[in-house]
């Protein structure tokens, strides 16, 4: 069965027929999000030109792919996507342990939606980490580390996050998209706006960043 990832308005209710040939990762991210919302365990295969098949076993939070994540093809051409229903006690989709799925979801989320909000993120919400991502399993830069430090400490909207971390809003949005796809964000429409003065916010950000680097042994 193939997934319809061409639906970008409204939440997909189920997996259905038809996957368009697409360039980039937006449609693939939508398809993955759709599968993650299903109640039935599903294995997923993505077909990508000039790369081997990308296999995802959501039960084991793992994937298998011949392409290393440090060579992630940002402009990959996706030619198809197949789902296979499975069960909790079925054999794994590939030889385990495979690779941790967080690394793939990070790359997929960072490189989708062109800096716009993922369609499943309503306007007017603020975000906070529910757990620290394992940054040893995906690529990241210092600006992203600063944003993670902010989200580990307080709820922030995309624009507030960009201001507190000193980055462009499109970069902040890409990070929010990735963390949301990884399912490690708490979302709130009631959380108050961050009201720290610029000097206080900068000092607080520096302290948070230092603590995060120490925690990660960097």
Kind plus residue range of the DSSP H or E element containing 62: strand 62-64
> What pLDDT, in 10s, does the model give residues 93-145?
999 999 999 999 999 999 999 989 999 999 999 999 999 888 776 778 999 99
Domain regions of the chain by residue span: 22-111, 120-215
Q: What is the mean pLDDT of residues 178-193?
A: 94
Residue 13 confidence (pLDDT) above 90: no
Please tell me the predicted confidence (pLDDT) of residue 211.
63
> What pLDDT, in 10s, does the model give residues 75-106?
999 999 999 999 999 999 999 999 999 999 99
| pTM recorded for the entire structure | 0.81
- CATH T-level fold of 120-215: Arc Repressor Mutant, subunit A (1.10.10)
């Amino acid at each position: 069965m193939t997934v319809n990832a061409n639906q970008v308005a409204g939440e997909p209710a189920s997996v259905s027929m038809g996957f368009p040939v697409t360039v980039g990762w937006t449609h693939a991210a939508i398809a993955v999000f759709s599968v993650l919302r299903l109640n039935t365990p599903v294995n997923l295969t993505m077909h990508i030109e000039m790369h081997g098949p990308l296999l995802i076993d959501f039960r084991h939070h793992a994937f298998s792919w011949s392409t290393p994540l440090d060579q992630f093809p940002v402009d990959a051409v996706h030619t198809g996507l197949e789902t296979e229903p499975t069960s909790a006690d079925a054999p794994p989709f590939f030889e385990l342990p495979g690779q941790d799925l967080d690394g793939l979801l990070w790359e997929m989320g960072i490189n989708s939606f062109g800096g716009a909000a993922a369609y499943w993120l309503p306007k007017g919400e603020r975000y906070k980490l529910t757990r620290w991502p394992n940054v040893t399993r995906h690529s990241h830069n210092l600006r992203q580390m600063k944003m993670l430090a902010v989200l580990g400490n307080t709820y922030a909207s995309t624009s507030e996050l960009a201001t507190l971390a000193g980055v462009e809003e499109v970069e902040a949005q890409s990070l929010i998209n990735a963390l949301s796809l990884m399912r490690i964000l708490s979302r709130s429409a009631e959380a108050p706006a961050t009201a720290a003065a610029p000097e206080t916010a900068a000092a607080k950000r520096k302290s948070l960043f230092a603590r995060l680097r120490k925690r990660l042994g960097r």
